[in-house]
């Protein structure tokens, strides 16, 4: 496997994308790949720049052994489009925002996070599902991270 880089993107970078980053980071460490894949997360909007992930995201993640406490929200930067091999959007709205900003020739890097689980699937916004919503997001992101890792291991992107 050659070195690759993945950017997870949601709206504000305080729930879905930092959770995906945390899940993937732990999966990579468990596989001994922590130094072979660069990870980050960002938001399409800058509402929460510098803030820690949502407390409910951190609690749900911690119950499953994921530590999100060091992460801080940031907004997608122009250079992210060339710096990351895979840019994984939580939902179609995020994907549309990314497509509008993406430089010509780099749109093949843009995908939905749940693409390996089904082309039309999106990570739901957990705020509408209460505490259970954050658990459901984790369920989906764990499955998606495993599927992306299988694709990466097979040399597919």
Q: Domains of the chain (ranges plus CATH)?
A: 4-153 (3.40.50.2300)
Q: What is the DSSP letter of 153?
A: H
Indicate the pLDDT class of residue 20, thresholds 50, 70 and 90. Answer: very high
- 3-class SS of residue 124: coil
Sequence-ordered list of residues with C-beta below 8 angstroms from that of 126, at least 6 positions apart, any chain: 15, 16, 56, 57, 133, 134, 136, 137
Sequence-ordered list of residues with C-beta below 8 angstroms from that of 106, at least 6 positions apart, any chain: 81, 82
Average pLDDT, the chain: 93
Q: What is the pLDDT of residues 93-109, one digit of tens each?
A: 999 999 999 999 999 99
Q: Are strands 4-10 and 86-89 parallel, antiparallel or unpaired?
A: parallel
What dihedral angle (degrees, nearest 10) is formed by the CA atoms of 45, 50, 54, 58? Answer: 130
Catalytic residue among 16, 25, 27, 56: 16
Specify the pLDDT at position 156. Answer: 46
Can you tell me which residue has the tokens 């091999």?
Answer: 85
Tokens standing for residue 132: 């259970």
Q: What is the pLDDT of residues 120-157, one digit of tens each?
A: 789 999 987 777 899 999 999 999 999 999 998 887 44
Catalytic residue among 10, 15, 102, 145: 10
Catalytic residue among 38, 72, 121, 125: 125
Q: Has residue 119 got a pLDDT over 80?
A: no
Q: Look up 101 and say whether it is catalytic.
A: no
Indicate the pLDDT class of residue 2, thresholds 50, 70 and 90. Answer: low
Note if the pTM is more than 0.75: yes
Average the pLDDT over 77-106 and give the result.
97
Q: Look up 151 and say whether it is catalytic.
A: no
Strand partners, 10: 43
Q: Look up 125 and say whether it is catalytic.
A: yes
Alpha-carbon gap, residue 70 to 22, rounded angstroms: 10
């Amino acid at each position: 496997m050659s070195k690759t880089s993945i950017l997870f993107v949601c709206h504000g970078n305080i729930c879905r994308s930092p959770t995906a980053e945390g899940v993937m980071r732990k999966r990579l460490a468990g596989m001994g790949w922590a130094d072979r894949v660069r990870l980050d997360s960002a938001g399409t909007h800058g509402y929460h720049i510098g803030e820690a992930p949502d407390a409910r995201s951190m609690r749900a993640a911690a119950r499953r052994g994921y530590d999100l406490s060091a992460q801080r929200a940031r907004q997608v930067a122009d250079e992210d489009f060339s710096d990351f091999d895979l840019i994984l959007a939580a939902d179609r709205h995020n994907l549309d925002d990314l497509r509008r900003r993406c430089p010509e020739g780099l749109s093949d890097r843009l995908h939905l996070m749940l693409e390996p689980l089904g082309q039309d699937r999106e990570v739901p916004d957990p705020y509408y599902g209460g505490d259970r919503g954050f658990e459901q997001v984790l369920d989906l992101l764990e499955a998606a991270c495993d599927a992306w890792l299988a694709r990466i291991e097979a040399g597919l992107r």
